Amino acid sequence: MSIFTGSGVAIVTPFTADLEVDYAKLRELIDFQIENGTDSIIICGTTGEASTLTHEEHLDCIRVCVEHVNKRVPVIAGTGSNCTKTAIYLSQEAEKSGVDALLVVTPYYNKATQNGLKGHFTAIANSVNIPIILYNVPSRTGCNILPETAVSLAKEVSNIVAIKETTENMSQVAKLMKLADGCIDLYSGNDDQVIPLLSLGGKGVISVVANVAPKLTHDMVVKYLEGDTSGALKIQLDLLDLADAMFCEVNPIPVKKALELTGFPVGKLRMPLTEMEPANAERLAKAMREIGILVK
């Protein structure tokens, strides 16, 4: 059984004026997402600025999320690291908090070999008893999970059950799904490629855009899975300009600005991330207005 089908939001981590984690605002964001159809909450991923959180903050965010969601939808915690020992620690602590699954990114900067990736992910998976989603995002990590490696892991390690693909190489994704023959679930990590990945057998999306357009993102996936491919395609095409604007600067700079523009401020970004350039912020606001998102 899939961890979830539909739209999972890669939720931001809100900060107070002095850049402490704003747990009250996080609870508000969670409620907003669930009330608008989001099918899963992904906490402490790239969009959640996990790389700038202390381990204590990281685990506190996970605990607060699990407690506040209270089983309404699955909670998936980002627990990856470029250090296998650290990833095991975070994964074990997240499991103790009651998360439904883990999202584990490739070990960035180290640029492990394919055998290194197999060893890394196997060690993490063997340290816990909950499902794991592999996270392949070569543009940010300099490391690519090849289809053969992902399929080998899924077949050999019982709790490695899915992969979030954020590669631009659709041929690689197609090869993955051919080799997998159903042994691994697929989630899109690119908001502009949801329909193509669903057409290859994907179960949904782990979305940045869903932070500000949760219902549209949910509806797009549901329509496709229910057979309304033309309706799903229309939403995908309608969302393209917003998806592009969301990544005109490094994520999560634009998505935090987008939430601010809707009147739902979530605080600044921790360094080394900086505020969005004014011209890009206007581009983002224009894309939001075009699909009916109220910009205040």
The residue from 23, 25, 118, 164 that is catalytic is 164
The residue from 23, 135, 187, 224 that is catalytic is 135
What is the torsion angle, in degrees rounded to the nearest 10, for the CA atoms of residue 92, residue 82, residue 62 and residue 96?
0
Strand partners of residue 164? 135, 187
Clarify whether 135 is annotated catalytic.
yes
Tokens of 116: 């290194």
- The CA distance from 120 to 275, in Å, is 35
Which residue numbers are catalytic? Answer: 135, 164
